[in-house]
Chains A and B, each alone.
Chain A
Amino acid sequence: ILNVEQSPQSLHVQEGDSTNFTCSFPSSNFYALHWYRWETAKSPEALFVMTLNGDEKKKGRISATLNTKEGYSYLYIKGSQPEDSATYLCAFSRGSNYKLTFGKGTLLTVNP
């Protein structure tokens, strides 16, 4: 059984704050790590796919880092806005075709 742990489970921040959360995954046989953003009543939206140790990806105010040797990834949001409120999911794969193992997500609420 593969465990993907995300912390914290939920987070409230004020508009303008920067924040970050963590995804932990098994460090053996790593293949890829995905981050998704999921707003209520909408489709999960892909943010990043990372495959290499030390990878850093950026999309606007959101960025992510990857450490495959210790089995964690961080997602950072700079200057949070109310529209950033969503659940952020990470998903891990070991390379067996198609299978992504998801964490439970971090629910971010940004207060205006």
Chain B
Amino acid sequence: ETGVTQTPRHLVMGMTNKKSLKCEQHLGHNAMYWYKQSAKKPLELMFVYSLEERVENNSVPSRFSPECPNSSHLFLHLHTLQPEDSALYLCASSHGRRDSVTQYFGPGTRLLVL
């Protein structure tokens, strides 16, 4: 247990559906991240929130919409996704802004878009 939980763990959705991924951290951290891992590719950073403010948007299509209502919760809202968006979506959190600090990851949501 890393102190970062994600729900759901698995999700199947059609291209016209709207769904949300949820991440919660119990570590008192002030930064949260969304990563995507596609098959045979490295982890790719999507979004970063620091103190509930988005500080990084890594050229992610607008069909992915993040939300950070407080420092413990992070959502990724999904709408009109494409089959190529099928991937593992990982959430992480850290304390502080410097990227020498450790990021703590959740177990991920495995997403399949039909």
Count B-side interface residues using an 8 Å CB cutoff.
27
Q: For residue A4, which residues in chain B have a CB less than 8 angstroms away from its CB? A: 42
B105 in contact (CB, < 8 A): yes
Q: Is the CB of A98 within 8 A of B40?
A: no
Residues 89-101 of B, flagged 1 when their CB comes within 8 A of A and 0 if not, give: 0100000011111
Q: Is the CB of A93 within 8 A of B100?
A: yes
Q: Is the CB of A46 within 8 A of B103?
A: yes
A89 in contact (CB, < 8 A): yes
Minimum-distance CB pairs A-B, first 8: A32-B100, A93-B99, A102-B43, A102-B42, A44-B105, A46-B102, A98-B48, A43-B105
Tell me the A residues contacting B by CB distance below 8 Å. Answer: 4, 31-32, 34, 36, 41-46, 49, 51, 89, 91, 93, 95-105
From B4, B40, B41, B100, name the one whose CB has the most chain A CB atoms within 10 angstroms.
B100
Q: Is the CB of B102 within 8 A of A34?
A: yes
Using a CB-CB cutoff of 8 Å, which residues 18-46 of chain B contact chain A?
31, 33, 40-45
What's the minimum C-beta distance from B14 to chain A, rounded to whole angstroms? 25
- Which residue in B31, B98, B104, B107 is a CB contact (below 8 Å) of A42? B107
Tell me the B residues contacting A by CB distance below 8 Å. Answer: 2, 4, 31, 33, 40-45, 48, 50, 55-56, 90, 97-108
Q: For residue B97, which residues in chain A have a CB less than 8 angstroms away from its CB? A: 97-98
Q: For residue B98, which residues in chain A have a CB less than 8 angstroms away from its CB? A: 97
Provide the bound-state CA to CA distance between A99 and B99, in Å.
7
Provide the bound-state CA to CA distance between A34 and B94, in Å.
13
